[in-house]
Amino acid sequence: MPSTLPAGDPAPADGTLPASVAVGAEARDLGVYLHVPFCRVRCGYCDFNTYTADEVRGVRREDYADQAIAEVRMAREILARAGVGTRPVSTVFFGGGTPTLLPVADLARMLDAVRGAWGLAPDAEVTTEANPDSVDREALRALAAAGVTRVSFGMQSAVPHVLATLERTHDPDRVPLVVGWAREAGLAVSLDLIYGAPGETAEDWERSLEAALAQHPDHVSAYALIVEQGTRLARQVARGEVVAPDDDLQAELYERADALLTAAGYSWYEVSNWARSAADRSRHNLSYWTGQDWWGIGPGAHSHVGGVRWWNLKHPAAYADRIRAGLSPAHARELLDDETRRVERVLLETRIAGGLPLEALEPAGRAEVAALIAEGLVEGRPAIHGRVVPTLRGRLLADTVVRRLLTD
């Protein structure tokens, strides 16, 4: 969730959605994203809408769960007014920030509010992000008892100097402890890694991958470090204090990740994500990539329902003021026209192993597929069966693939 919000049309003060969002709603999944905007330390590379205690004076962390619960109840009313039925929620994701900086009891109350508003599907996936130093054995047991099914640990690296560059505060030796405690609690485990940090070598990255695989996680995410404008890292790069990530090295590190993960029995299902089986994939994240419905709760959170996308006020204080006034915290929104939805579908579905149906392309885009196969950017066999799936090289050159498929 980038900290800079896009432009858009003003959102109604009562959050009213157009009747068009109800069309086909019964065929779409409903997910809920619960944003917790608090961090103990703000990492220099982070561009997410997060705040440390010093940055949100006047905002009480202990009040946050009640504010989020109020928005959940408001969301239920808004969807009901729009004629969207009370579909059970398929996925819930606590993200941030560091959700586990809140007491488990607060997270449990937020989840109970979702359950009370729409109900949870019998097989609902409920994930929380956590830093390795933000949970202990008892907290993980309590999260599982509250209904959380999956925890995503921000491991990032196993190499101390890389963690220091990323300004991560945990001891890498703690990762095996928290993974073990999560397993004891019956939680599925995902490990998040970042590659391409200034000063990180290929050997460092391989060490991190091997350390992650030693924990036998169900799921692994590996993201290239991006220098986002406005971050402390961007200022350090601009001043020449650190060297910007090297694109060629990052490509090499990605290829190494895919090779090691594949050899260990993991399969990629999205450009930056691998899972041991289809059941271990992040269904919540897949809902973003496949155009399902989701409601984002919290400051700066983004939502999408039936072709309407909107985003909340960014600052926790402004968000809290709007909630206290009984008004929608939505700041702005956009109604996606057919062409925008088509372009976004091409952009997103070419990132996943399930691929993009050929019929989603215009004739000129379909005509490009044969050339993309010849250039080693698109898999040949899935294309025969009507789907565009990128090769490993195509994943590295995803922007090029998308541009070619959107040829008009």
From residue 353, alpha-carbon distances to 142, 146, 283 in Å are 35, 33, 14
Residue 371 has pLDDT above 60, yes or no: yes
* pLDDT value of position 48: 63
From residue 290, alpha-carbon distances to 97, 306, 402 in Å are 25, 12, 16
Average pLDDT over residues 72-86: 94
* pLDDT value of position 86: 79
Total count of residues recorded for the chain:
408
* pLDDT value of position 351: 95
- pLDDT band at residue 1 under the 50/70/90 scheme: very low
* pLDDT value of position 234: 66
Residue 127 has pLDDT above 50, yes or no: yes
pLDDT, tens digit, 9 for 90 and up, residues 389-402: 999 999 999 999 99
Q: Which of 192, 180, 188 is closest to 125 using CA atoms?
A: 188
> How confident is the prediction for the chain on average, in pLDDT?
92
- pLDDT band at residue 53 under the 50/70/90 scheme: low
Question: How far from chain centre, in Å, is Cα 213?
Answer: 21
Residue 56 has pLDDT above 90, yes or no: no
> Where does CATH 3.80.30.20 sit in the chain?
9-289
Comparing 120 with 53, which gets the higher pLDDT? 120
Residue 192 has pLDDT above 70, yes or no: yes
- pLDDT band at residue 2 under the 50/70/90 scheme: very low
Question: How far from chain centre, in Å, is Cα 246?
Answer: 24
The CATH number of 9-289 is: 3.80.30.20
Residue 4 has pLDDT above 80, yes or no: no
Residue 338 has pLDDT above 50, yes or no: yes
* pLDDT value of position 104: 98
Percent of the chain with pLDDT over 90: 82
* pLDDT value of position 225: 87
* pLDDT value of position 228: 64
Average pLDDT over residues 2-15: 77
The CA distance from 327 to 342, in Å, is 33
* pLDDT value of position 243: 74
Percent of the chain with pLDDT over 70: 92
* pTM of the predicted structure, to 2 decimals: 0.93
Comparing 8 with 314, which gets the higher pLDDT? 314
pLDDT, tens digit, 9 for 90 and up, residues 134-167: 999 999 999 999 999 999 999 999 999 999 988 8
* pLDDT value of position 45: 58
* pLDDT value of position 133: 93
